[in-house]
């Protein structure tokens, strides 16, 4: 089966619907506020309501896998339904699973989340490179073959990560660089070697609250690299920060907002997403 490259699909969404991504994070307090039970049925209903509400407003949704996994097999079944509904509605679905392992185990994660026949089939998957970027060779190959994408954790928005992600690499090709900077270089090289010069299939997670220069990251080099940017809304980043934070690469950013939109409830989220989409477009104009 022939697939359109993920980068091309993402660029098409940017051009037609904008870069806003709605996180599907069924926190316990949000389930309560939405009048839903803290159960597999509750998270299924929550996710399906989000998809239905925003399907004509945005082009990207991002289910946080952990909130479904906590209900075991029934929670994963609920996630399968939410992912399928999102893709059937024409949305790009990013599974926020942050998977990371080595060899055949990492390959199996690729099969689980990116294979056409998998019930968890998503358009993109968040992955962790902290067992070595080369350990993900199999899953990057699988992603491209499936027309899917990866978002590799680079500089994340949680403050606990700073010490690890700014630690200096002691050996290898990235010696002397902050670890996050080395990961960025690995992603740039991977997309270049694949011949993806418009917008790559392998992107980066670069938090919107992170001072990226402190991590040795030159955002001017990321204009052809998809960037998943959490941290807008509840975590404090503003859409007006986009140009300052990402510079010339701002047009490659998936602008992720979760709790700030979900807090508007099932009947208000569509209007909130519409307002935020318009604001993001204004900030990028």
| Angstrom distance (rounded) from CA 60 to CA 17 | 9
Count Cα atoms within 13 angstroms, Cβ side, for 236.
6
> Distance of CA 147 to CAs 8, 13, 95, 99, 110, Å?
9, 15, 15, 19, 12
Our answer to whether residue 62 is catalytic in this structure is no
**Which residue in the list 11, 17, 74, 98 is annotated as catalytic?**
98
Question: Token pair of 172, please?
Answer: 């290898």
Nearest by Cα to 231 from 251, 202, 211, 201: 211
| Angstrom distance (rounded) from CA 5 to CA 198 | 11
3-state secondary structure at position 239: helix
Which residues, listed in sequence order, are joined to residue 23 by a DSSP beta bridge?
A: 62
Contact of 51 with 22, CB cutoff 8 Å: no
Quick one: residue 86, left, alpha or beta (phi over 0 = left, psi -120 to 50 = alpha)? alpha
Place of tokens 């998503």: 122
> Distance of CA 155 to CAs 54, 213, 245, Å?
28, 10, 13
3-state secondary structure at position 25: coil
Q: Indicate which residues carry an active-site annotation.
A: 98
């Amino acid at each position: 089966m022939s697939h359109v490259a993920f980068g091309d699909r993402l660029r098409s969404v940017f051009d037609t619907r904008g870069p806003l991504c709605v996180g599907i994070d069924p926190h316990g307090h949000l389930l309560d506020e939405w009048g839903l039970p803290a159960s597999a049925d509750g998270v299924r209903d929550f996710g399906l309501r989000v998809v239905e509400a925003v399907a004509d407003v945005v082009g990207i949704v991002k289910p946080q896998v952990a909130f479904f996994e906590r209900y075991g097999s029934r929670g994963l079944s609920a996630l399968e339904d939410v992912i399928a509904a999102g893709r059937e509605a024409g949305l790009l679905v990013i599974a926020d699973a942050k998977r990371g392992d080595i060899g055949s185990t990492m390959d199996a994660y690729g099969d689980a989340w990116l294979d056409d026949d998998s019930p968890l089939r998503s358009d993109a998957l968040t992955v962790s490179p902290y067992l070595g970027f080369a350990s993900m060779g199999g899953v990057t190959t699988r992603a491209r073959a499936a027309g899917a994408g990866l978002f590799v954790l680079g500089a994340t928005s949680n403050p606990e990560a700073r010490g690890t992600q700014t630690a200096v690499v002691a050996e290898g090709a990235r010696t002397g660089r902050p670890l996050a900077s080395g990961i960025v270089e690995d992603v740039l090289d991977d997309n270049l070697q694949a011949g993806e010069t418009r917008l790559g299939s392998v992107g980066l997670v670069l938090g919107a609250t992170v001072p990226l220069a402190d991590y040795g990251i030159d955002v001017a080099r990321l204009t052809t690299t998809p960037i998943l940017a959490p941290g807008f809304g509840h975590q404090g980043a503003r859409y007006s920060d986009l140009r300052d934070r990402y510079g010339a690469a701002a047009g490659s950013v998936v602008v992720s907002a979760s709790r700030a939109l979900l807090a508007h409830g099932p009947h208000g989220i569509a209007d909130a997403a519409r307002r935020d989409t318009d604001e993001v477009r204004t900030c990028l104009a």
